[in-house]
Amino acid sequence: MQNLVRASAELFRRTPDECFPSLDALSEYCQGQKENSRELWQPPGSFEVLPTVAGQLRLSTSDDDAYTMNDWSFSQLCRLSSVAKETVNRLFPATAARVFQETLPRASKPMQLFTEDDNLRSIHAASYTRLFNADLLEVVREYALDFRPPQEGIDTKTGLYAGQQDMFAFLIDPEGWTEIEGEAFAPGFFVWNSETGARSVGIQTFWFQKVCQNHIVWDAVEVTELTRKHTANVHESLNEIRQAIEMLVQKRDARRDGFVPVIAKAMKTKLGDDADEVLKALAQNGIPRGLAKQAMEIAKRQGAFTIFALVDALTRLSGQMNFVGGRTEIDQKAAGLLALAA
């Protein structure tokens, strides 16, 4: 088993304006970015860096348009000029503009400027091929119908993020719990992309046992990952990501179908013939004594101490707990009881 920390790293590095409450909201934002962005082709010899009254630097082109740079596009401009960003940041704007005047290459081969309104999002050579976040999310929304963001993490972050540089989404199927080798797992995946070259495009699928408030995915199995760089064939990744999601869904459905007989048997199989025997069995499976007694009271009202009745009772009780970690732990142990009916 593995503990996956990719979503946790995203949670802690994202600012509030990069966080989205739902997949629809994330998709709408990315679609807006796509519609408002454009690609310009200009030779680097036509670039001119100009200081502004406000103390910023803007990149001017041969079309007499000037664009404000963000941290990413400014970093790219520094690399293109072979100057250290840290050094340029220490200079007065007029001096920094002069540095670029002296160091920018004067090649005539056009480079790609990716802009949104009057902002320069990135600078690329001709070999870079863009994949829009909106196109990737369209595939996700079409083929991952039952998948949702996990429970909210720290600062109510949902695992859905996008900004000027990249996009990341963390999705799970909250109804997809099933049994793998006697333990309860649910399917999930991470998907990511960058329209500006800040990261590759990729997907990581997995089956997990719990997710904590830091969005660490605990005890993951069957972890698979595919990534692609933004080169000429990058759009083929959409089909590969679709296939990865389809395989995850197909496996979920197959396991769920195999789980049906287990549920039917659990509805008929008693965990014990009397209260003492049931209480002992619950304790042996890690259920705290106080919680076990409450579950037995609920199950008793259903007529018998069947495995299913006790699992159902424990699930209801876990829903009343205040802390996510406690709920997840009890849900996992309750689902583990179903292995006794396998």
What are 6-16's pLDDT values in tens digits? 999 999 999 99
In a 13 Å sphere around the CA of 104, the CA atoms on its Cβ side amount to 22
- Distance of alpha carbon 26 from alpha carbon 185, whole angstroms: 27
Q: What are phi and psi of 49, to 5 degrees?
A: -95, 125
Query: What is the per-residue pLDDT for 324?
Result: 46
- The full 3-state SS of 18-34, as one line of letters, equals HECCCHHHHHHHHHHHH
In angstroms, the Cα distances linking 255 to 41, 172, 190, 258 are 51, 16, 21, 5
Query: What is the per-residue pLDDT for 299?
Result: 84
Q: Which of 194, 181, 171, 167 is nearest to 244 (CA)?
A: 171
Query: What is the per-residue pLDDT for 242?
Result: 94
Using CB atoms within 10 Å of the CB of residue 117, give its burial: 0 to 12 exposed, 13 to 18 middle, 19+ buried.
Answer: exposed
How confident is the prediction for the chain on average, in pLDDT?
Answer: 88
Query: Which ranges of the chain have pLDDT less than 50?
Result: 324
Structure tokens belonging to residue 190: 């991470």
Structure tokens belonging to residue 250: 């197909």
- Distance of alpha carbon 190 from alpha carbon 170, whole angstroms: 5
Give pTM, 2 decimals: 0.74
- Distance of alpha carbon 5 from alpha carbon 68, whole angstroms: 34
For the chain, percent of residues with pLDDT exceeding 90: 52
- The full 3-state SS of 158-214, as one line of letters, equals CCEEECCCCEEEEEECCCCCEEECCEEEEEEEEEEECCCCCCCEEEEEEEECEECCC
- Distance of alpha carbon 282 from alpha carbon 318, whole angstroms: 15
